Amino acid sequence: MTFGAKFLKGQGDGVTGVLTDPFSITSVKIYPAGGSVSVATLSPINVATGHRQVTWTPTDAGAFEDEWIWTGANGQTTFAQRYNLSVRAGTTVSGPLVWSNLRNAIRDWLVLTLGLTTIWEEEEAPRPAYPYASLRILSGSVKIHSDVDEQTLSGNDIIFTTIGNREFAVSVQAFASFEGAVYNPDADGMHYATAAQGSLETPSVLETFRAAGLSVADVLAITNRNTALDATWLSRAGFDIRFRAVSSIVSAPVPSVATIVVSSDLSGQQAGSDIDLTGVIMPVD
């Protein structure tokens, strides 16, 4: 955050609004409100005649005081003056979808439904023993219909929120092997895929998805993908699901126009000069 001080000629000079240099600034210190131990010491820069500025990066939100050390012209003494400074926590810009939460909810559904070890494909992990199930995101999120834009006021800040439906596709696959055993159609890939697909019609599963921010938009037909594996057959079957989720993108707070009034008696201030020490750097009437 950047804030500064402007020294403007006042009524006593016969000219108002003109920058002048009645003071030099030795340093600026930041204190917790009412505190005696500074948390930062800043070196002001000279932006222009009569205009000093400092930049501070706060590590915490809260109430602070910025103390300016003044040295007046014409042999006037050095003195300090403090001003109130409020730091509000910003809102992190969120992503359209929280993929970790969505992936966990989908995987939990398949594990509970089939009772099989379930993995996300393309992760660095060994292939489980048969039978097992796998998941894979086929396409990223696509916007469905128009988004809704909202604006809310938080203190002197405006927060913008964009809300809309997003759709993405997931492949569900089930694997089984009967090497050295009799083929069992009640424990093959088609059996597990059919069980997973059927569960998507049950209210309990749909409610679990809803609680995770998901809804099922469409379920495609099961495909039999049995393949030869050495001297036997690998039983594999699967289908695709189109899920929908609500995207809520929240912006960081954007400052709105605010008026800050500072009432101070600056002892030693050169007569006829006004001092402005606000975050928006506006002359004090």
pLDDT tens digits along 190-222: 999 999 999 999 999 999 998 888 999 999 999
**What is the domain class of 99-250 according to CATH?**
alpha beta
Q: What mean pLDDT comes out for the span 176-184?
A: 85
Query: Are the CB atoms for 280 and 262 separated by under 8 Å?
Result: no
Burial 144-179 (b: 16+ CB within 10 A, else e): eeeeeeeeeeeeebebebeebbbbbbbbbbbbbbbe
- Looking at the predicted structure, is the pLDDT value of residue 94 above 90? no
Flag whether the pTM goes above 0.85.
no
Half-sphere exposure in the Cβ direction for 206 (13 Å, CA): 11
Confidence of residue 264 (pLDDT cuts 50, 70, 90): very low
pLDDT at 186 exceeding the cut of 80: yes
More confident residue, 224 or 179: 224
Q: In one letter, which amino acid is 237? A: A
For 242-261, how does the pLDDT look when each residue is reduced to its tens digit (9 = 90+)? 999 887 666 665 554 443 33
The span from the CA of 216 to the CA of 235, in Å, is: 26
For the segment 135-139, the average pLDDT, to the nearest whole number, is: 92
Mean pLDDT to the nearest integer, 178-185: 84
